Every structure is written in structure tokens, then in C-alpha cells.
Amino acid sequence: MLETLGIDYDSMQIILTIVIIIETLLLIILTAKLFKKPPELSTVLRIAEKILDKVPILLNPQHPLIIPGEHVKKLQDSVSIIDKVKELIDPNLLIKLGNVEYTSGNYSKALTYYEIVLKHAKSTNDSITSAICLGNIGLIYKDKGDADTALKYHKNALKINREIGYRQGEANQLGNIGSIYKGKGDVDTALKYHKNALKIHRKIGYRRAEASDLGNIGTVYLAKGDADTALKYLKDALKIHREIGYRQGEANQLGNIGLAYSAKGDEDTALKYLKDALKILIEHNLMYGKNIIEDAIKKLKIL
């Protein structure tokens, strides 16, 4: 047959080899095109990473995220593209996007991001990332009113953080668990968890978290009806927030101190602290806790 076509055996082998090489090259090119990220994605990722650079991985509702107004539209445009390939995106970036969505109240979208990262972290035995996602998911369930499911996630995160020796993560989850127990009315258990969180944050030198823990302990004592002890902790927290220049924390504690004085029946002092808190929130365009403080001022003015 080969002789009839005028092609000898060796020539045919060369032709077949060339055909195989061409087919292989075509397959490589097609595969590369199939899995290549959209040309605009690399630019979009750089924009998102720059905007989210200072967004923490560990979520803390008392430290709300603030995205400058000029960056919000850019981030929204970036997310619309990232969402199409979110399974391929860096896990830390997805967690940060989840934290932004959580702060905006978009719990369903935040949960989607966290669950994608959690699945990936479990498959790669990334314990730190697993613990972070579990804790963040717990906060979503807490805000949705499902305290028992939230506790399950936070305690799983706490267990992992203790196993790997990640002290900041451990303290973060102790505080989250304490807040849930306070919400459930178990103030003594809440106090235990918050005090354990405080010990760790003092040991590792994380002052902003130390101040938050002091504030949390103060609000637990206030819930127990011990306004004097509450004020001691709240004023210690206020002092630290002022020293480190954290205005949201300063406003939080001014508001809490105002509520403590209100509980003691000292309406004039309470009103002074609440107004100081509101002034900071307005001046710095901060929204966290603003409604609570405004409501408290209205009630005191009625009395």
C-alpha cells in the first residue's frame, strides 16, 4: 500500500510523528485558552487586592470595615468579574470579600465566599484558614439569630486554634463565644470566656483587642446589674482606645459608659457621654452603634 502511494515506511513514520506533534500542540493551545483567566481578571484582582489590603482576615463586628467611598464602585465592579471564577481566586482575598459583604449585611453572599474557602482549606489541611472561616460563619449565624449553630462553629474554630497554637485566633473565638452566652442570658459563662480572651490579648500585646475585651467585660457586668464594676472596665477600655487613636472603639466605649450611668440613674452624665459618642461617629462617618446611641439619647431626653 505504501509503495503504491510512493511513500516508503520511514517517510510514513516521519509524517505520522509530525501529525502527532501538531495534534499535541493544538491540544495544548486549546487547553490553555480554555483555562486562561479572562484578560481583564489580572487587572481586576490587582484593584481588589489594593482596596482590600488593610481589611483583616479575622472578622470582628466591633471593628467594622470601612471602604472609602471612591473605592466602593471599583470594588463592586471587580466583584462582578471575580464572582464568575471565585473558585480559582486566592482564598485570603475571598475571605476579605466575605468580610466586606458581612459588614454590608449581605450574609448570603458572605457565606458563599466563606464556604468556598473552607472547602478548599479542608482539602489542603490548612487549619488556620479553616478556623478563620468557621469563626466568620459563626458570626453570620449569630446575627441571623441562630445562637446554637453559631456556638457550634465558634467552638470548632476555637478547638482548631488551640490545636495549632494560634493565640490570636483562640482569643478571637473566646470573645465570640462570650458574646453569644451573654446574648443567651448566661452572663457568668460569658464573663469567663471574655476574661480568658483578655488574658491572651494582653499576653500577645494586641491592645485594640484588649480594649474590646475590657469593653465586653464591662457590658457583661452591666447586664449583671453591677454598673460600678462595669464603669471601671469600660473606662479602662476607653483609655486604651484613646491612646491608640481608634475612634470607633472610643465611640463604642463612650456609648457604653453613657448606658452605665443611665442604669445608675445619672441621666445628665449619661447624656454627656452619649452625645460625645455620637459626635465622634458623625465626624468620622461611622455607622456602627449609631442607632443605639441615638435611641438612648432620645429616651433620656424624654425622661
CATH superfamily of 41-166: Tetratricopeptide repeat domain (1.25.40.10)
**Kind and range of the H or E run holding 163:** helix 147-164
Closest residue by Cα to residue 154 from 59, 64, 54: 59
Q: What is the pTM of this model?
A: 0.79
- Of 87-91, 124-128, 166-170, 173-177, give the lowest mean pLDDT range: 87-91
Mean pLDDT throughout 213-237? 98
Q: For domain 207-303, which CATH number applies: 3.30.70.3270, 1.10.1020.10, 3.30.300.170, 1.25.40.10?
A: 1.25.40.10
Q: In this prediction, what percent of the chain has a pLDDT beyond 90? A: 59
Higher pLDDT, 158 or 120: 158
Q: What is the pLDDT of residues 8-23, one digit of tens each?
A: 656 666 666 676 777 6
Give the type of residue at 141.
Y
The predicted pLDDT at position 288 comes to 86
Mean pLDDT confidence for 183-191 = 97
- Between 30 and 181, the higher pLDDT residue: 181
- Checking phi first, is residue 185 left (phi over 0); if not, alpha (psi -120 to 50) or beta? left
**Mean pLDDT in the chain?**
85
| Total count of residues recorded for the chain | 303
At 55 the pLDDT is 74
pLDDT tens-place string over residues 23-64: 666 666 655 554 455 546 677 667 777 777 777 777 777 776
Residue 55 Rama label (left phi>0; alpha psi -120 to 50; beta): beta
More confident residue, 4 or 161: 161
User: By the 8 A CB rule, do 182 and 223 touch?
Assistant: yes
Helix ranges (H only) for the chain are: 2-5, 9-35, 41-51, 69-82, 91-103, 107-123, 127-143, 147-164, 167-183, 187-204, 207-223, 227-244, 247-263, 267-283, 290-302
